[in-house]
Amino acid sequence: MRVLVTGGSGFVGSNIVEVLDHHDAEVLAPGRAELDVTDAVAVNRYVEATRPDAIVHAAIWNDPAGLLTDRRRAWEAYVGATRAVVDAANRAGAHVVLVSTDWVFDGTQGPAPENESPNPVNTYGFLKAASELVVAERAERGTIARIAAVQGIHRAHPSTPRAQDAGFGYLAASVADALAAGRRFKVWDGPGLNRLATPVLATDAAEFIFRALEQAATGTLHCVGGEHVDRVTLARRSAQAFGFDPERIDVVDPDPAIVGTQPVPVDTRLDATATATQLGLELPDLGTTLQRLRLQLQAIQS
């Protein structure tokens, strides 16, 4: 299987590349200098030249402030790029998978099943929801793979890029980094945050995506774990999983300078029961997710 991965140097994308490599797929992961996904002509030319069996579209413009100040670029980076990828996939007869997010929901729908209608409350969620529509209505063989509260390591840049933000991303690894260095960890809790979600290890989400490609599964999939959790519980259970005292976790108010002013969906729990049944996968509980993360961190540190 030959798979083109856009955004392959990013956090989620690099883990997708890792898992596809593990399954002996032939992976194409061009950087932005090699392929600008907002350039429809360039995307079509690249796909025509390489003839992938599938395209996993994980590329995003990861700049929350920029999404507000340059809306034209934001639209093209998300919706325009998705349209370009889908059209090129259709011409090549390739299966296309869009990596989407639990933030397409407004925070009142949890736990949301795969057929729940999106209702985003911020720019990022809106752009992802609009991109989902492109796949649902335009792709001849299309899959929407929603992920949530992604934990793991960045395969291209193993050090955690931030301690935490309004979402859950990197939280478990950040806890481990702080406690291993002898520091206490201050987990945020309060208004303006995503406070309930369904975490998944980045490599587990990638396994869902590989299985979808292998089985030619289309439609909307929830590529998440099997256990919902709040931020404070995730931080404390992460401490325990890594062999530290959970009492070294302090609960504090969020940093407003980092959180920003846009609304954030409070409860983005996803129900992945139908996805697990469709793909024949068992949803990992939080303990399993954290133990797998611990092994991954040990592997890169050894």
The bridge status of strand 54-57 relative to strand 26-28 is unpaired
CA-nearest of 38, 35, 52, 37 to 1 is 52
**CA dist., res. 130 & res. 4, Å (int):** 22
Helix (H) or strand (E) holding 55: strand 54-57
Terminal-to-terminal C-alpha distance of the chain: 32
The Cβ of residue 261 has, within 10 Å, a number of other Cβ atoms equal to: 8
- Which H or E element spans position 208? helix 202-215
Instruction: Tell me which of 46, 78, 124, 170 is the catalytic residue.
Output: 124
Of 251, 209, 193, nearest in space to 54 by CA: 209
How many residues does this entry show for the chain? Answer: 302
Bridge-based pairing state of the strands 229-230 and 196-197: antiparallel
CA distances from 16 to 59, 102, 115, 152, 156 (A): 12, 18, 24, 12, 12
AA identity, residue 276: A
Q: Is 170 a catalytic residue?
A: no
Q: Which amino acid is at 188?
A: W
Active site residues: 124
